[in-house]
């Protein structure tokens, strides 16, 4: 295994696990503020992030690499309004999209074609992540402080169910 790629994958495992931690923090905050639907939506996000981390872990092991787990950074505790909570998620996803793009750039420089192929799943996934957060931001912005509307949207978010990510089936 190319050591530069190996260390970049280990770093990305940490990024994805931090994402899970961040969403778990936002989920907890949403729950504490009376938004159980948003709590559920953010919890599903957190579960998906663990899958993203495990996708990299599995790829590294399949390539004969070594997984090295680092300490996970402490996330924030307070996130403001439901709109601010989703905005924090979107900002983070933009950062992750940048990380994935950097990994693809590295895979090209190092001529690691298998890693390039593997990363296309994450490139597509980031489009979905940013799109999903933006859609929610748009809905919340339209609702503004329309209480019944906000509660109806929260009920809708309660219906989101976790499904194991397709990246785990390799």
Lookup result for tokens 């505790």? 77
DSSP 23-36: HHHHHHHHHHTT-H
Alpha-carbon distance of 33 to 87, in angstroms, equals 17
Least separation, in Å, of the C-beta of 96 and Mg ion? 5
In the bound state with Mg ion, the residue whose beta carbon lies nearer, of 53 and 85, is: 53
Least separation, in Å, of the C-beta of 52 and Mg ion? 4
Name the nearest CA neighbour of 108 among 98, 119, 99.
119
In the bound state with Mg ion, the residue whose beta carbon lies nearer, of 16 and 154, is: 16
Least separation, in Å, of the C-beta of 133 and Mg ion? 12
In the bound state with Mg ion, the residue whose beta carbon lies nearer, of 49 and 154, is: 49
Provide the terminal-to-terminal Cα distance of the chain, rounded to the nearest Å: 19
Residue numbers of the site for Mg ion (CB under 5 A)? 16, 19, 49, 52
């Amino acid at each position: 295994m190319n050591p530069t790629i190996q260390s970049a994958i280990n770093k990305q495992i940490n990024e994805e696990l931090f994402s899970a931690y961040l969403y778990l923090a936002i989920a907890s905050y949403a729950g504490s503020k009376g938004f159980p639907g948003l709590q559920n939506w953010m919890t599903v996000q957190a579960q998906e992030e663990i899958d993203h981390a495990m996708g990299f872990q599995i790829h590294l092991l399949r390539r004969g690499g070594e997984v090295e787990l680092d300490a996970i950074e402490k996330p924030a505790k307070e996130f403001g309004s439901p709109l601010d909570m989703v905005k924090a998620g979107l900002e983070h996803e933009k950062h992750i999209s940048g990380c994935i793009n950097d990994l693809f750039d590295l895979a090209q420089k190092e001529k690691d074609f298998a890693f390039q192929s593997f990363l296309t799943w994450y490139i597509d996934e980031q489009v979905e992540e940013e799109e999903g957060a933006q859609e929610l931001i748009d809905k919340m912005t339209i609702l503004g402080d329309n209480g019944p509307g906000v509660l109806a949207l929260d009920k809708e978010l309660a219906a989101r169910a976790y499904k194991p990510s397709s990246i785990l089936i390799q």
